[in-house]
Amino acid sequence: MTAYTATVTVRLKHGVLDPEAETTKRALERLGFELDALRSADRFDIDLDAPSARDAEDRADEMAERLLANPTIHDYDVEVTERE
């Protein structure tokens, strides 16, 4: 078994309203910052042991499907790196 960290990033699908991001963008503009757009996402770093990177990725993928993301409104991606 090897120690991996799987990073799952969960974003709202294109077209789903994100009032929190909109509020953050306006707050930055009120502070004098110029920006074209702001998107927010949730990131989960998951430490797990697995026989291969592929296996770690499959398990993180299943975690996203079953709990971390809501497939109706979210897209997600998974990246796996080996842990020291």
Residue numbers at the binding site for its own copies (CB under 8 A)? 3, 9, 21, 24, 27-28, 31, 33-49, 59, 62-63, 66-68
Task: Give 17 or 67: the residue with its C-beta nearer to its own copies.
Answer: 67
Task: Give 35 or 72: the residue with its C-beta nearer to its own copies.
Answer: 35
User: Smallest distance, Å, CB 74 to its own copies?
Assistant: 13
Within 10 A of 54 (CB to CB), how many other CB atoms are there? 10
Instruction: Name the DSSP letter for residue 72.
Output: T
User: Smallest distance, Å, CB 78 to its own copies?
Assistant: 14
In order, the DSSP letters of 18-31 are -HHHHHHHHHHHHT
Task: Give 32 or 72: the residue with its C-beta nearer to its own copies.
Answer: 32
Cα–Cα nearest to 50, from 62, 59, 37: 59
